[in-house]
Amino acid sequence: MYTLLSGLYKHLTQKDQYYILILGLDNAGKTTYLEQTQTRFNKNYKPTNLARITATVGLNIGKIDVGKMTFNFWDLGGQEELQLLWDKYYAECHAVVYMIDSAETSRLQESLESFNKMICNEHLNGVPLLVIANKQDLEESVHIPDIKTVFNTSAQKIGQRDCSVMAASALKGDGIDEGIEWLVKCVARNKHNRPPTEPDQ
């Protein structure tokens, strides 16, 4: 009887597992964004000192629970040589967060080129895409309409999928809640195309 009740309880309380990729050039603020997300959504999370975050070499992993969902984040290094590893994760992810350093105008074209290589991969067909224009708290940052103008050249490559461009300051935590809310809606809407991973896997 206990086993039956235990199994029923587990079934009723288990959460659908979704995997979210955080991509973008080095120094775009990917790891800071992940740290702030975990801090805001995990009550007992002990955050890293944001001032001590260094460039990611390989992979950072994070997790949050949102309602009946668990988001598992893969924050991948953005250096050119590490971008070669991005496509190893495409087939298993349920959404992509693409970070742009909107204050470093000299690298916007480079960021667009990496974005285009990513979005053309067949394993990402139909996967929701959240573009974060980070560092909007800085005076020299490029505003959202101008970011959209640059990245609108990729509209045909983006194709039929949920896609949004949002302003954020990962360092200050601005825009985090809005981004997660958008992801929750979009991965749920895309379940027929990319179902959640079973909790026991």
The full DSSP string for the chain is: -HHHHHHHHHHHH--EEEEEEEEESTTSSHHHHHHHHHHHH-TT--PPPGGG----SSEEEEEEEETTEEEEEEEE--STTGGGGGGGSGGG-SEEEEEEETT-GGGHHHHHHHHHHHHT-GGGTT--EEEEEE-TTSTTPPPHHHHHHHHGGGHHHH-SS-EEEEE-BTTTTBTHHHHHHHHHHHHHHTTTTSPPBPTT-
Q: Does 6 score more than 50 pLDDT? A: no
134 is annotated as contributing to ligand binding: yes
26 is annotated as contributing to ligand binding: yes
Q: What is the mean pLDDT of residues 96-104?
A: 97
Q: What are the tens digits of pLDDT across the range 21-76?
A: 999 999 999 999 999 999 999 988 887 777 777 777 678 999 999 999 999 999 99
**What confidence score (pLDDT) does residue 8 get?**
47
**What confidence score (pLDDT) does residue 45 get?**
85
Element (H, E) at 62: strand 59-66
**What confidence score (pLDDT) does residue 33 get?**
96
126 is annotated as contributing to ligand binding: no
28 is annotated as contributing to ligand binding: yes
**What confidence score (pLDDT) does residue 12 get?**
55
159 is annotated as contributing to ligand binding: no
Q: What is the mean pLDDT of residues 112-137?
A: 96
168 is annotated as contributing to ligand binding: no
Q: Where in the chain are the domains?
A: 28-189
193 is annotated as contributing to ligand binding: no
Q: Does 154 score more than 70 pLDDT? A: yes
Q: Does 186 score more than 60 pLDDT? A: yes
3 is annotated as contributing to ligand binding: no
pLDDT class of 101 with cuts at 50, 70, 90: very high
Q: Looking at the structure, give the CATH architecture of the domain made up of residues 28-189.
A: 3-Layer(aba) Sandwich (3.40)
Q: What is the model's pTM? A: 0.90
Share of the chain above pLDDT 90, in %: 78
Whether 113 and 80 have beta carbons less than 8 Å apart is answered as no
Collect all residues with Cβ–Cβ distance below 8 Å to 28 and sequence separation of at least 6.
Answer: 78, 99, 100, 101, 111, 134
137 is annotated as contributing to ligand binding: yes
* Identity of the residue numbered 84: L
Q: What is the mean pLDDT of residues 102-126?
A: 96
Share of the chain above pLDDT 70, in %: 91
